[in-house]
């Protein structure tokens, strides 16, 4: 049943959102824009998928620069380019590591012959920087399909990024599970017909994750269990391939029982 895992990147593979916030603020400072996003404000801004779109929306909604809409759109792209450079500099400096359980789950999937994908609104340069600085120089070879903002312009909650990832991997949604961390990410994966596991963090713990099969605070490790926030962990204490297979099997059983109930009417 389970043929592939697709991971979101920021906040899912690594707890990068605080580093992103710092990079945004550093870029604003370099461009002399009187703006500093605090943690609570940034939490709200995450409802806008994509860093460039986040800057653009903020500048359009706040009278920080005396520019036309077209000029603000152009400026947002320039600021975001510099912000991304600052973010990658922080990654290289070792300011972020993988979240608990991520490396273990990826290695389990590779060992068991499952395909791995990444579906992100970030750039391929950011993906490469994160993977190489956390999983090693050959990390990209572990992933069979990586879809970024260069491939898909429609941002989450649009299902496009997951639809492209499924096509790259050559798998159907019922044989795949997505690991996400945000409301928009959950909506995107579910919109593509993929079951989701959610790992929350400071910026997304209060998000609406309706439709997710399991919501936990982290993937967990043997001896360091996750906390279940919603859904059924089916007796497991950390996310592993066996749990993911059980989740898909449990859904199939539920569908079969639902069909039998309809036929019995």
**Residues belonging to the active site:** 8, 10
Dihedral sign from CA coordinates of 211, 222, 131, 82: positive
| CA 76 from centre of chain | 22
Q: Give CA angle at 252 (249, 257), nearest 5°.
A: 125
- Report residue 190 as tokens: 């579910």
Q: Determine how many CB atoms are found less than 10 A away from the CB of residue 75.
A: 17
Q: Give CA angle at 165 (45, 243), nearest 5°.
A: 85
Q: Determine how many CB atoms are found less than 10 A away from the CB of residue 224.
A: 12
Q: Determine how many CB atoms are found less than 10 A away from the CB of residue 216.
A: 23
């Amino acid at each position: 049943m389970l043929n592939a895992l697709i991971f979101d990147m920021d906040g899912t593979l690594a707890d990068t959102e605080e580093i992103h916030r710092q990079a945004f603020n550093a870029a604003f400072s370099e461009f002399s824009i009187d703006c500093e996003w605090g943690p609570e404000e940034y939490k709200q801004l995450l409802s806008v998928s994509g860093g460039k779109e986040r800057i653009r929306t903020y500048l359009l909604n706040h009278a920080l620069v005396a520019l036309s809409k077209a000029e603000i759109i152009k400026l947002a792209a320039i600021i975001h380019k510099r912000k991304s450079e600052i973010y990658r500099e922080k990654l290289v400096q070792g300011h972020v590591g993988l979240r608990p359980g991520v490396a273990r789950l990826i290695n389990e999937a590779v060992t068991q012959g499952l395909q791995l994908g990444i579906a992100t609104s970030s750039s391929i340069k950011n993906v490469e920087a994160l993977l190489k600085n956390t999983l090693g120089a050959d990390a990209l070879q572990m992933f069979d399909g990586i879809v970024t903002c260069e491939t898909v312009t429609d941002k989450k909650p649009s299902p496009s990024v997951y639809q492209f990832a499924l096509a790259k991997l050559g798998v159907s949604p019922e044989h795949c599970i997505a690991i996400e961390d945000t409301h928009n990410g959950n909506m995107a994966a579910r919109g593509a017909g993929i079951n989701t596991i959610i790992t929350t963090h400071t910026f997304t713990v209060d998000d609406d994750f309706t439709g997710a099969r399991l919501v936990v605070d982290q993937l967990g490790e043997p001896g360091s269990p996750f906390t279940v926030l919603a859904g059924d962990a089916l007796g497991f204490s950390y996310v592993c391939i066996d749990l993911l297979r059980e989740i898909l099997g449990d859904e199939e059983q539920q569908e079969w029982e639902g069909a039998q109930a309809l036929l019995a009417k």
